[in-house]
Amino acid sequence: MKKLIEIVKLKKDYFVGEVTVHALRGVDMVVNEGEFVAIMGASGSGKSTMLNIIGCLDKPTSGEYILDGIGISALSRNELSSLRNRKLGFVFQTYNLLPRTNALDNVELPLMYNSSVKSKERRERALAALESVGLSDRIHHKPNQLSGGQQQRVAIARSLVNDPVVILADEATGNLDTRTSYEIMALFQELNRKGKTIVFVTHETDIARCATRNVIFKDGVILREYEVKDRINAIEMLASIPEAD
């Protein structure tokens, strides 16, 4: 199985004034193609730092990070931008959709930064991405005309539109109620079933059980990591939750 993410002896220090904060103290981690990994941990455990580094938003202090065969340590800021644009998809807790901009334009956004994609193709791919998250009938809605769950679906469509090798989700269900959370997890599971690799940061144990593998961080190191035995099927879970009136 192909290693998409390979992290070796990764350390990350922050310098806050004169104090050095060791956010990550030597992490080894591998994510294979087709995996659905949930990263868990208390706040301050280093999981967000881990996600920032996996997302190429931050560079490690030491250690190796190889994303889809590319070592990122040697890359410049601009090269990292291009790498994010071509290989990664981001889903945030707060959706981060452009306000007063319709769903279609929001989803098209990553492709705007890819000059090899022409406007016609951009539109087609955005429409396809919105269809895959079940929002074909909402393409001209603006974020304030959509529910939280729908906004997160738009954000997921946006993360899909550039056909990334990995989708990174940071507390993607953190702002949603339980039922909507499982709807979003059902969507992630479906995408995973179609072959998408997903790395998902959460602090909710139940949500983490939707993934195929859990990685638990504590104090900047991996405390435990295990394959999820009793995996939750989000669609089945949804059926057991009464619909809100």
Partner 1 sequence: MSIKNLLKIAMNALLRNKLRAFLTMLGIIIGVASVIAMLGIGQGSKLSIQQQIAGMGLNLVTVVPGSQQRGGVQFGASTMQSLKESDVAAILSDCPAVLAATPEVRGNGQAVFGALNWPTSLYGENESYLQIRERTVESGRMFTYQELNGAAKVCLLGKTVVKNLFGEGADPVGQVIRFKKIPFQVIGVLGSKGLNTFGQDQDDLILAPFTTVQKRVLAITWVQSIYTSAVDSKSTDAAQTQIEETVRRVHKIRASDQNDFTIRNQTELLSTFSSVSDILTVLLGAIAGISLLVGGIGIMNIMYVSVTERTREIGLRMAIGGKGFDILLQFLTESILLSITGGVIGILLGIAASKIIGSAMSWPIVVLPSSEILSFAVCTVIGIFFGWYPARKAASLDPIDALRYE
Residues forming contacts to partner 1 in the complex (CB under 8 A) are: 52, 55, 57-58, 77-78, 81-82, 84-86, 90, 92, 94, 96, 98-101, 105, 109-110, 112-115, 119, 158, 162
Beta bridge partners of 13: 22
Of the two residues 52 and 178, which places its CB atom closer to partner 1 in the complex? Answer: 52
Q: Give the integer Cα–Cα distance in Å for 123 and 182.
A: 29
Of the two residues 119 and 147, which places its CB atom closer to partner 1 in the complex? Answer: 119
Closest distance of CB 78 from partner 1, Å: 5
In Å, what is the CA distance from 19 to each residue of 15, 16, 25, 52?
6, 5, 16, 21
In Å, what is the CA distance from 193 to each residue of 34, 89, 196, 233?
8, 17, 7, 12
The structure tokens 């602090």 sit at 203
Of the two residues 96 and 205, which places its CB atom closer to partner 1 in the complex? Answer: 96
Closest distance of CB 120 from partner 1, Å: 12
Amino acid at 182: Y
Closest distance of CB 139 from partner 1, Å: 16
Of the two residues 87 and 213, which places its CB atom closer to partner 1 in the complex? Answer: 87
Cβ–Cβ < 8 Å for 26, 9: yes
Of the two residues 99 and 195, which places its CB atom closer to partner 1 in the complex? Answer: 99
Of the two residues 143 and 149, which places its CB atom closer to partner 1 in the complex? Answer: 143
In the chain, DSSP assigns E strands to 3-16, 19-32, 36-41, 62-67, 70-71, 88-91, 166-170, 197-201, 213-218, 221-227
**φ, ψ for residue 48 (rounded to 5)?**
-70, -40
Closest distance of CB 115 from partner 1, Å: 6
Closest distance of CB 105 from partner 1, Å: 7
Closest distance of CB 59 from partner 1, Å: 11
Residue 172: exposure state from Cβ atoms within 10 A (0-12, 13-18, ≥19): buried
Closest distance of CB 183 from partner 1, Å: 23
Q: How far does the chain reach from its first CA to its final CA, in angstroms?
A: 45
Q: Give the integer Cα–Cα distance in Å for 167 and 155.
A: 11
